Chain A
Amino acid sequence: MASKLKVATCSLAGCFGCHMSLLDIDERLLDLLEVVEFDRSPINDLKRIEGMVDLGLIEGGLCNAENVHVLRHFREHCRILVSVGECAVTGGVPSMRNHYTLRECLDEAYIRGVGVENAQIPSDPELPLLLDKLRPLHEVVRIDYYLPGCPPSAEAFWHFLTELIAGRDPSLPLQLLRYD
């Protein structure tokens, strides 16, 4: 048997909705596991990629320094890197904060917010610092493929992954790009 393809996934500034949608391929997950093996992923809770993997799927955009570190780690360790879902591709809902300064955002959440006690902007070194603007992935590293959708449907994941694994062009047919 040929060795399985290694796949890593993660969610940055996203909602895990894309991962949920991936799981919606349901029992086909078993077929998928016949040909792929998950490396670092919330599915198995591994935290680092060891060695190189064939395919990296990243959900969510970049909102803080930790996101950038994870993205760079993926880029270094994935032969093919895929930007998955609205937030990764365009910034999505989290990028709505880009209309405001970071100070305005933090003031609203931690200083003037309803029910805030002991108002202060968090400064614990354990917390990753926020970027001034939320960024989509392709503004920081090279991205090989984009899988759009909010979230991409299970069918879109299935089509994309099976085509890519089969060594074909994983372009989505029109019906998988229609959202209305």
Chain B
Amino acid sequence: MPHATVAPVQDAILPILQRYDRDPQNLLQILVEVQHALHCVPPEAVDLVADHLGATRAHVRGVVGFYAFLSDQYLGDFVIHLSDNITDRMLGNRELAEYLCSRLGVKLGKVRADGRVSVNFTSCTGMCDQGPAALVNGLPVTRLSRERIDRMVELITARTPVSAWPTEFFEVEDNFRRSDVLFRRPFEPGSAIQAAMLRGGDETLKDIQLEEALDPASGKLWKRGADETLKELYRSDLRGRGGAGFKAAIKWETCRDTAGGERYVVCNADEGEPGTFKDRVLLTSYADMVFEGMTVCGYVVGSGQGILYIRQEYWYLKPHLEAVLARRREAGLLGSNILGTGYAFDIDLHWGAGAYICGMESAMIESIEGRRGKPRKRWPLPVVAGVRKCPTVVNNVETFAAAGMIALKGGAWFAAHGTMHSTGTKLFCVSGDCERPGIYEYPFGVSVREILRDCGGSSAQAVQVSGPSGTTITRSEFDRVLAFEDLATVGTMMVLGPKRDMFELVENFSHFFQHESCGLCTPCRVGTSLLVNLVDKVACGKGSPMDLEEIQKLSHIMKTTAHCGLGQTAPNHLLDSLLKFRTVWDARMMTTEFEPAFDLDEALEEARQLSGRDDAEAHL
């Protein structure tokens, strides 16, 4: 369904192919741009891209089919994706969705007959502290309300291009509510690289020019800075901020010491865990710190190429990030001659296209190489054979930001904060039923209770820590502490107020995992669907204790046999809920005997119509 404002397919695609060197590894980047240009990847685009890249059509279609934001159908001149995290639901997004659809005269999930507009749900867009949120033609609209929707409908009816919509629709707040030692002061670009390169030099070096000190001809000194910086990283005991908590120094050293040509530094900004939005804030207001941490990492491990893999939901940050990168190149902080030392390092942006699984590092690397984001086999680890089979460091956005500060201020400074096994500070993304949702920086070891007090959520009946894949904490556990010793977390804290029906949480989360399972392994692909069937069965009052047993059995199979963390953690919320909120399940149990999830008599309706029968035997 071509539209007047959309250029003919060929005219739109050829320049994109040109820009990406017709490199098959850039397939996903090409398709993302095609989707933005045409609001779909039509069959003729698939043919064209396949021809020019020397790829098969099946491969290209396979990639289009994998990612949620790529579509082979035209999605309309205005493409609306409504964020459907539990926090959006708590703010009434379902009711707003109905209102929006009725105002537009569009059916959810379908393009309006005139091709003007479509409305769909999507997984969390990372605006949980300012929802309900949506993406309109890829740009985030926050704080949806009936009034805002009324205005949007008018603008769509008048065919006003999104670029001319009121800017306040697209305002995204940082909501940085509490800062501690890492983010208290603005970061001076270049300071961490300089500190890293000079580290370990004796007193006399402080007075001479950096260029001189780091003259690559001397060799020794150059390496000393890298080695000493790695030692500082060891001293800091920095653990990965993506949730798993692997020690960054071990990863960096392994990468450095693995034989291989090129090395890669990948920053994981996929941030798909519903309820998480710290990377968005860091890349908005601390992008220099993040890029600097990546550059220091490149310096330490001997890499010339960094990649920021960022989720499609943050496409609106593209101009900003490109500007920061350009400024850093101009300032000699990126490029072929960093700080005049001859050290070369640059950073490319790589856009995701809507796939939670791509937050898993080997799936992300597949995606970087232009394929479907399916996790690789566990071994070899990416640090040995990652991007293009080269040694690769993959760290979270926040990890790189912290590493940059450690390069600047030293490991002992960092390790003085936090707990014995969880040094430093951590960003927490607080959303849900509290007065002040937003970003909070605390030293590790802070209790759930303290955060709830600070954010104005003390009346909570529960907190979902670390997103749907994490842990549900009840009131009696609020004194537990956030640290790898107790509650490990990516930083997500979704607060559930005293009136919330906790069953809504499991409905939301189980559907989320079903949607986001990549389909590679059977325990996850089939397991997540079976769990949804069982949850839905209980939701409609047909559940029995046998179904709850089945949920537990399936959960056990998934936790022990799924290929990657997605399937292994997908049942966590159900097991927590069955253990800690059993009453919300029992309240939905209408029977102790097993009942079918579907209506048997209804299952005969089609046959009744076809045969024209309605006798007693024609019913069940």
Contacts and interface: CB of A to CB of B under 8 A. Distances in A.
A145 to B, nearest CB: 14
Given A139-B596, A139-B597, A140-B600, A132 B615 contact: no
Interface in A119-178: 121-123, 125, 128-133, 135, 139-142
B617 A65 contact: yes
Contacts of A132: 603-607
Contact of A101 (B593, B604, B606, B611): B606
B608 A129 contact: yes
A102 B607 contact: yes
Given A65-B620, A123-B613, A102 B606 contact: yes
B20 interface: no
B550 to A, nearest CB: 9
Contact of A128 (B596, B598, B603, B617): B617
A163 to B, nearest CB: 20
A125 B615 contact: yes
B612 interface: yes
A166 B600 CA distance: 37
A131 B604 CA distance: 5
Interface string A93-108: 0000000011100100
A129 B618 contact: yes
A103 B612 contact: no
Interface in A56-76: 65, 68
B611 A122 contact: yes
B198 to A, nearest CB: 62
Q: Which of B596, B598, B603, B619 lies at the interface centre, i.e. has the most chain A CB atoms within 10 A of its CB?
A: B603
B607 A68 contact: no
B546 interface: yes
B92 to A, nearest CB: 35
Nearest to B616: A125
A142 B593 CA distance: 8
For chain B, give the interface size range.
20 to 34
B594 interface: yes
Contacts of B604: 65, 129-132
Nearest to B610: A121
B610 A106 contact: yes
Contacts of B594: 141-142
Contacts of B615: 125
Interface string B583-604: 0000000000110111010011
B605 A68 contact: no
Given A131-B604, A142-B546, A121 B620 contact: no
A106 B612 CA distance: 14
Nearest to B597: A139
B596 A103 contact: no
Nearest to A123: B611
A139 B550 CA distance: 12
A106 B619 CA distance: 19
Contacts of B603: 131-133, 135
A131 B618 CA distance: 10
A131 B603 CA distance: 5
Contacts of A68: 600, 620
Contacts of B606: 101-103, 132
Nearest to B611: A123
A5 to B, nearest CB: 24
Contacts of A139: 596-598
B607 A129 contact: yes
Nearest to B598: A139
A103 B613 contact: no
Contacts of B597: 139
A125 B617 contact: yes
A123 B618 CA distance: 10
Nearest to B615: A125
Contacts of A106: 610
Contacts of B593: 142
B613 A125 contact: yes
Contacts of A129: 604, 607-608, 611, 613, 617-618
Contact of A121 (B546, B596, B605, B611): B611
Interface in A23-68: 65, 68
Nearest to A120: B611
Interface in B265-295: none
Contacts of B546: 142
B617 A123 contact: no
| 3 nearest CB pairs, A to B | A142-B594, A123-B611, A129-B607
Interface of B: 546, 593-594, 596-598, 600, 603-608, 610-613, 615, 617-620
14 contacts: A65-B617, A65-B619, A102-B610, A103-B610, A106-B610, A123-B612, A123-B613, A130-B607, A131-B600, A131-B603, A131-B604, A132-B603, A139-B596, A140-B600
Given A68-B620, A101-B606, A132-B604, 17 more contacts: A65-B618, A68-B600, A102-B606, A102-B607, A102-B610, A106-B610, A123-B613, A125-B615, A129-B607, A129-B613, A129-B617, A131-B603, A131-B607, A132-B603, A132-B606, A133-B603, A139-B596
